[in-house]
Amino acid sequence: MTVVRDPSVKPLLEGRGVTKRFGGLVAVQSVDFAVYPQEMVGLIGPNGSGKTTLFDCLSRVQSIDEGRVLFKGIDITSKKPHSVAHLGMARTFQVIRVYRKLTVLENMLVSRQWRGETIWSQLRPSQADTEERARELINFLSLEHLTLEPAGTLSGGQRRLLELGMALMPDPDLILLDEAASGVNPTLVETIKDRIRRLNEERGKAFLIVEHDMRFISDLCTRVYVLNYGEKLAEGTPEEVMEDEAVIEAYFGT
Ligand SMILES: Nc1ncnc2c1ncn2[C@@H]1O[C@H](COP(=O)(O)OP(=O)(O)OP(=O)(O)O)[C@@H](O)[C@H]1O
Ligand SMILES: [Mg+2]
- Between the CA of 176 and the centroid of ligand 2 the distance, in Å, is 12
> Ligand 1 pocket test: which of 43, 44, 53 has the largest number of ligand atoms within 8 Å of its C-beta?
53
Tell me the CA distances in angstroms from 168 to 29, 144, 174, 201, 244, one per residue in order. Answer: 30, 16, 10, 15, 34
CA atoms of 160 and 180, how far apart (whole Å): 7
**For 13-252, which CATH class?**
alpha beta
Ramachandran region, residue 133 (left: φ > 0; alpha: ψ -120 to 50; beta: rest): alpha
Tell which residue, 115, 17, 117, 88, has the closest CA to residue 57: 17
Q: Percentage of the chain surpassing pLDDT 90?
A: 83
Helices 156-168 & 186-203 angle (0-180, nearest 10): 20
Query: At a CB cut-off of 8 Å and minimum separation 6, what does 210 contact?
Result: 42, 43, 44, 51, 52, 55, 94, 176, 177, 178, 179, 180
- Between the CA of 209 and the centroid of ligand 2 the distance, in Å, is 11
All structural domains of the chain with their residue ranges: 13-252
115 has pLDDT over 60: no
CA atoms of 49 and 30, how far apart (whole Å): 13
Proximal ligand: closest to the CA of 93: 2
Nearest CA to ligand 1 atom 7: 22
What is the longest distance spanned by two Cα atoms in the chain? 60
Backbone angles phi, psi at 16, to 5 degrees: -125, 110
- Between the CA of 186 and the centroid of ligand 1 the distance, in Å, is 27
| Atom from ligand 1 closest to the CA of residue 62 | 1
What pLDDT was estimated at residue 6?
83
The average pLDDT across 67-80 equals 97
Enumerate residues lining ligand 1, CB below 6 A: 22, 25, 27, 45, 47-53, 94
Nearest CA to ligand 1 atom 28: 48
Proximal ligand: closest to the CA of 58: 1
118 has pLDDT over 90: no
131 has pLDDT over 50: yes
What pLDDT was estimated at residue 126?
73
Nearest CA to ligand 1 atom 3: 22
What pLDDT was estimated at residue 125?
65
Give the up-direction half-sphere exposure of residue 182: CA atoms within 13 A in the CB hemisphere: 13
Higher pLDDT, 193 or 115: 193
Nearest CA to ligand 1 atom 5: 22
Backbone angles phi, psi at 161, to 5 degrees: -65, -40
What pLDDT was estimated at residue 3?
67
Tell which residue, 47, 90, 64, 68, has the closest CA to residue 177: 90
Nearest CA to ligand 1 atom 19: 48
What pLDDT was estimated at residue 253?
80
- The mean pLDDT value of the chain amounts to 92
| Atom from ligand 1 closest to the CA of residue 45 | 21
CA atoms of 137 and 165, how far apart (whole Å): 6
Confidence grade of residue 254 (pLDDT, cut at 50, 70, 90)? low
